[in-house]
Amino acid sequence: MYWMRFVILIIASAVLQLSIVKGLAIGPDLVQPDLMLILLAYFAAHATSPDAVVCSFTIGLMADITGWTLGPLTLAFGLIGLAISYLRQYVMLEGIPQRALLIFLSGFAISSLARGLSAIKGVPVPIPPASHMIFGPLYSAVIGPFLMQPLEWLMRLQDKKYRMGLR
């Protein structure tokens, strides 16, 4: 795993999420794609299980930093990333429709879990439920599969050396 690339990638994604992606917002609720969710789907589906855990929690932490409070998204991203890394042993996650479905379902699960954890923490979520749980993940699912190929060029997680644990 190219960890330095990973760190730069998530910082760059956080910056993009807070800046350029805001320009892609649509609808009255300003629904926007979630780059962190797309990164999570990619790393959880293609990294080895131990790396997937690290990546999921780290992406969750970055999502928390750019989110409304610290904690809920770290746990939600970590746990859902872990679930995806288990799931991929039984389900094929190649191809655009599968990837889109993966992004949508993981987005729905993460937002539901994060809202629950946020309620436990006692911090209100400033995003309307429909855009947070349905339209946001849907938007991410539409553009996410097309971003996964450039991610693969950058991170090379499907490389043989990496799969064998040699890199």
Q: Hey, what amino acid is at 14? A: A
Site string for another protein, 99-118 (x = CB under 8 A): ------------------x-
Site string for another protein, 62-81 (x = CB under 8 A): --xxxx-xxxx-xx--x---
Q: Give me the residue label for tokens 């890394």.
A: 85
Q: Single out the segment in contact with another protein by CB under 8 A; choices: 34-42, 61-69, 105-113, 140-148.
A: 61-69
Residues numbered 126 to 165 that lie near another protein (CB under 8 A) are 161, 165
Give the 3-state secondary structure of residue 99: helix
- Are residues 43 and 147 in contact, defined by beta-carbon separation less than 8 angstroms? no
Of the candidates 149, 144, 147, 107, the one whose C-alpha atom is nearest the C-alpha of residue 127 is 107
Q: Write out the two tokens for 117.
A: 């954890």
- Are residues 108 and 137 in contact, defined by beta-carbon separation less than 8 angstroms? yes
Q: Which residues bind another protein (CB under 8 A)?
A: 11, 14-16, 18-24, 48-51, 53-54, 57, 60-61, 64-67, 69-72, 74-75, 78, 82, 117, 120-123, 161, 165-167
